[in-house]
Structure 1
Amino acid sequence: MPEAAPRRAPARHWTRWALPVVAVLPGLIAVVQLGRIHPDEVYQALEPAWWRAHGYGVLAWEWREGLRNWAVPSVLAGFLGLADLLGITHPRAYRAVVAIPQVALHAWSLWAAYRFAERRAGPSGGGLAALLVGLYGPVLVFAGRTLSESISASLLVIAMEALDRRERVTRAGLVGGLALGLAVVARYPSAVFVIAALVWLAAVRRWRLLVFTCVSGLGVAAALGALDWATWGTPFHSFLAYVRFNVLSGAAAAQFGAAAPSFYAQPLLSAVPLWAWAAVPLGFIALRRQRSLSLPLWCAAVYTGALLATEHKEERFLYPALVLLVLAAAPQVAAFLASHLGPRARGGLAGLALISSLAVAAVFPSVDLRADQFRAIVAATRGDARGLLIVNEGLWGSGGFFYVGKRIPWRTCDWPHDAAFQRALHDRTFNRAVTFEDRALEELQAGGFRIVRKIGRETILSRE
């Protein structure tokens, strides 16, 4: 009699449906919630994409100075064009269309996290580890956002898994080099991860993998040079301009502020989930056995060191390092639970670990997402809106033409005596207003506006 086919491992079975669901969550949260972690989410991705797709929009100073490349905005512009072809004109609806490539990228990265963990913890432990990464609070908040940190971090996870492979070395190197190169295209500071990864490959003497990683990465670099040549007139114009401004001149710290290394102490401590600390002793045991540091842990450590040495500091800069730290720690914890505990204890501790991962979203990032304002702007500009006044929000904190969704004039101001407020109040073109916590509400009503509805802290007003 023929042998019975082996039963599929239960972990693989539930992983097949659980990971795709988890992979969609960050994109779904970003579309439903709206808001922004940082103005760059809008003005370095969505707004230049809108400008490229529609021929108008607000271009930040980096786009006038040539400090950015057009790779990500061009991809997003292509999906905005698809939305136009499909007749999708509501901002939230075309924001969902724009989310498609990022959701696909995040799904790939989550599958890579599973593959990375499966090699260390088996199918069951790999599934738990992938969930610990996918349900990590900052991942849920960041991974669906069009920040360069978000896109780059997903690509870095893919690269870590590829460079960890022992089989099909040529393909692993090509995929790893491609992902590392694209991570830099999405965000130039990710070059630190590339250097760290190449040093690691040399240190562990994986020469063939190193060669093909470099070949693939150089191909991406050549494509970036060609893109800059086509858009800025000089190969690598944006990269060199970025390095001059942010690294060589000290202009970033002078313009945006400098901070001591201790700036990152509180965000780091609050953003590392409780279960990850358990991976520290487990990691030492693994280090003694393998005699080589985990690639994602090494890359995260080198990058964090670079952040500490850089004068200009922002909380969001930590995100790629945090993702790689969790990627390195999750298999250690999952393997321990799978091999040392019974089913009941394993299930209980796994549940606590997942809750610990989710809970980090309450403290990191610590910024106000202004989600209610973005939803109010979208609602206010529907219908016969001819002009919009946003009270208590500067230009870089607003949603740009991307969330206004049509070519109408709009202005931002803080107080009723501001010139922008006075001009909009006396210009009947401006028939919509959004105000935060009822600021200038009386003055708006005196100017003929009436309250339409409230969305969170925002009030929407209209006039004929």
Structure 2
Amino acid sequence: MSAPAHQSPAPAVPGTTVEPTADLPHSEPPNGRRWPVLLLGLGVALLPAVIAVLQLGRIHPDEVYQALEPAFWRVHGYGVLAWEWKDGLRNWAVAGVFAGFLKLADLLGITHPQGYRAVVAIPQAALHVWSLWAAYRFASRRADAPGGWLAALLLGLYGPVLVFAGRTLGESLSAAFLVVAMEALDRREQPVRAGFLGGMALGLAVVVRYPSAIVVLAALMWLAAARRWRLLAFTCLGGLGVAAGLGALDWATWGTPFHSFFAYVRFNVLSGEAAARFGSAGPGFYVKPLLDAVPLWAAAAVPLGLAALRQHRALSLPLWCAALYTGVLLTTAHKEERFLYPGLVLAMLAAAPPVAAFITAQARPAVRWALTALALGAGLHVARDYPSGDLRDDQFRAIVAATRGGARGLLIVNEGLWGAGGYFYLGKQIPWLTCDWPHDNAFQHAMQDRRFNRVVTFEDRALEELQAAGFRIARRMGRETILTRE
């Protein structure tokens, strides 16, 4: 539904980039051409989940120990619970949902770790499909239907999205909910429905990752600055409904309403313990990750956005939220590359429509296809550098392979506890240890305990000592070597 021609534009917040937000008339492709486009979009939306399941590995230990491992513990009664789950810094929403799908896999007789990891990926894949559909709707108001589809492709094939969106990290889940919220709050029609949906999506973004409360505050500021009071009111109501659910969940699991939220704020914001325990860095820490993560097509959105200012003056909600969120990250002491991801996704959501509109407006098909290929290629290229850490995907695949069959105990050499895959990727209740060097106590214990008949060693560390203890090389997977003894 288009905004009336006489409607005055929303006021801009000083110092922010602005862009059109009114719904623009656009045409959908004919029915005969719509299904191929929808199938292509669905395939792109499912790619991150497929990559994560086939690749395994982890971007950060939280991917395993804050989501998959507590879910496994909830279903099977054993697992490694990180300190946050003992001190009550986490809520059970995400782990509870994953536990439900793990239980489903168990009922279906799926016992292979990669198999039930695929089942766990179902709700996250559905959420990502929803977020890319929201991205299409957001962009089609600014670039018509063809531009909307291209913008959704630019976001869906953006390197960090392909890497993160299938991962069980709070950043991954929260970013998807934020995209849904941005589209809902961008609507000009049905403010009651839009507000409830936007508020609930914002609330769920916070439930899965508490730092996303920064984006919630930014969005509420945007609504107030735009004087969209009715939308603001129902957004608050939708968010309060989710907050009530979180309070009830914490009450049922931790014994006090909002126990996990307040414990999280005390540890990470008020006490300074997060920086003391995990390290601190200055604002310059984020310079290289930001430069590595911004594709050339997003840089091209800057002049295109400035040109649009001559005709429209309306606030860019996702860009405003991304800027405020990233600004807060710069001021916090403890910094990690993955923290940037929600802000990057929101920034790309804002940048994609003007780029897509420019490309689809080109009269010559050859020019349109060439520019499309260049833009998509530039977005894919970013996956090489962000994040910069080692996924250890070959290690996780080796752990899964090593524990099949008659494995009675597993030693992982050249890896610590929090870098390993936990019982989730072992898939069975057997003793397992991690160590770095042959002189470590864990290594010596495993050599003497005959239950330990499987070893995975990274880059062949301690290979000679393992062979001297009776192990033989069974298989090599990338940088990993699997050894067995009987």
**What's the TM-score bracket when you normalise by the shorter of the two chains?**
over 0.9
Q: Conserved in 2, the CA contact under 8 Å of 1:68 and 1:242?
A: yes
Q: Conserved in 2, the CA contact under 8 Å of 1:11 and 1:123?
A: no
**CA separation in 2, counterparts of 1:97 and 1:21?**
17
Structure 2 residue corresponding to 1:321, chosen from 343, 350, 365: 343
Structure 2 residue corresponding to 1:369, chosen from 378, 391, 401: 391
Q: Which runs of 5+ in 2 are unaligned?
A: 1-27
**CA separation in 2, counterparts of 1:237 and 1:292?**
39
Kindly indicate whether residue 447 of structure 2 is the aligned counterpart of residue 447 of structure 1. no
Pair 344,236 (structure 1): closer, same or farther in 2 beyond 3 Å: same
- State the partner residue of 2:187: 165
- State the partner residue of 1:210: 232
Give the secondary-structure state (helix, strand or coil) at the position aligned to 1:459.
strand
- State the partner residue of 1:31: 53
Q: Which amino acid aligns with 1:183?
A: A
Q: Conserved in 2, the CA contact under 8 Å of 1:12 and 1:127?
A: no
* Residues 221-245 of structure 1: CA deviation (Å, up to 9, x unaligned): 0100010111111110100010011
Q: Which amino acid aligns with 1:440?
A: A
- State the partner residue of 1:309: 331
* Residues 275-299 of structure 1: CA deviation (Å, up to 9, x unaligned): 1111012222334433233100000
- State the partner residue of 2:441: 419
**CA separation in 1, counterparts of 2:460 and 2:292?**
33
Kindly indicate whether residue 75 of structure 2 is the aligned counterpart of residue 90 of structure 1. no
**CA separation in 1, counterparts of 2:445 and 2:287?**
45
Q: CA deviation at 1:167?
A: 1.4
Structure 1 residue corresponding to 2:142, chosen from 120, 123, 126: 120
Q: CA deviation at 1:342?
A: 2.3
- State the partner residue of 2:427: 405
**CA separation in 1, counterparts of 2:277 and 2:443?**
27
**CA separation in 1, counterparts of 2:482 and 2:151?**
44
Structure 2 residue corresponding to 1:434, chosen from 445, 456, 470: 456
Q: Which amino acid aligns with 2:481?
A: T
* Residues 313-371 of structure 1: CA deviation (Å, up to 9, x unaligned): 00000000111111100001011122244221111011100000100000111110000
**CA separation in 1, counterparts of 2:302 and 2:31?**
29
Answer 1 or 2: higher relative contact order, Cα 8 Å, separation at least 6.
2
Q: Conserved in 2, the CA contact under 8 Å of 1:389 and 1:410?
A: yes
Q: Which amino acid aligns with 2:100?
A: G
1:264-413 pair list within 5 angstroms: 264-413=286-435
Q: Conserved in 1, the CA contact under 8 Å of 2:29 and 2:145?
A: no
**CA separation in 1, counterparts of 2:205 and 2:122?**
18
* Residues 431-456 of structure 1: CA deviation (Å, up to 9, x unaligned): 10000111011111111111100000
Q: Conserved in 2, the CA contact under 8 Å of 1:11 and 1:124?
A: no
**CA separation in 2, counterparts of 1:278 and 1:378?**
44
Q: Which amino acid aligns with 1:120?
A: R
**CA separation in 2, counterparts of 1:35 and 1:431?**
23
Give the secondary-structure state (helix, strand or coil) at the position aligned to 2:311.
helix
Q: CA deviation at 1:166?
A: 1.0
**CA separation in 2, counterparts of 1:248 and 1:109?**
33
Q: Conserved in 2, the CA contact under 8 Å of 1:12 and 1:123?
A: no
Q: Which amino acid aligns with 2:377?
A: I
Q: Which amino acid aligns with 2:461?
A: R
Pair 272,10 (structure 1): closer, same or farther in 2 beyond 3 Å: farther
1:190-229 pair list within 5 angstroms: 190-229=212-251
Moved more, 294-303 or 282-291: 282-291
Q: Conserved in 1, the CA contact under 8 Å of 2:297 and 2:378?
A: yes
Q: Conserved in 2, the CA contact under 8 Å of 1:128 and 1:334?
A: yes
Kindly indicate whether residue 70 of structure 2 is the aligned counterpart of residue 48 of structure 1. yes
Q: CA deviation at 1:16?
A: 1.0
**CA separation in 2, counterparts of 1:451 and 1:130?**
47
TM-score (norm 1): 0.97
Kindly indicate whether residue 255 of structure 2 is the aligned counterpart of residue 236 of structure 1. no
**CA separation in 2, counterparts of 1:341 and 1:113?**
25
* Residues 255-287 of structure 1: CA deviation (Å, up to 9, x unaligned): 111101011011101100001111012222334
**CA separation in 1, counterparts of 2:229 and 2:214?**
20
Q: Conserved in 2, the CA contact under 8 Å of 1:12 and 1:124?
A: no
Q: Which amino acid aligns with 2:314?
A: S
Q: Which amino acid aligns with 1:76?
A: F
- State the partner residue of 2:206: 184
Structure 2 residue corresponding to 1:259, chosen from 281, 300, 307: 281
- State the partner residue of 2:30: 8
**CA separation in 1, counterparts of 2:360 and 2:304?**
14
Q: Which amino acid aligns with 1:357?
A: G
Aligned pairs, number: 459
- State the partner residue of 1:3: none
- State the partner residue of 1:150: 172
* Residues 184-209 of structure 1: CA deviation (Å, up to 9, x unaligned): 00000000000000000110111111
**CA separation in 1, counterparts of 2:210 and 2:257?**
15
Q: CA deviation at 1:65?
A: 0.8
**CA separation in 2, counterparts of 1:130 and 1:396?**
35
**CA separation in 2, counterparts of 1:69 and 1:152?**
14
Q: Conserved in 2, the CA contact under 8 Å of 1:391 and 1:439?
A: yes
* Residues 91-144 of structure 1: CA deviation (Å, up to 9, x unaligned): 000000000000000000011111111110001111110000000000000000
Q: Which amino acid aligns with 2:111?
A: T
* Residues 164-195 of structure 1: CA deviation (Å, up to 9, x unaligned): 11112111111111110000000000000000
Q: Which runs of 5+ in 1 are unaligned?
A: 1-5
Pair 455,339 (structure 1): closer, same or farther in 2 beyond 3 Å: same
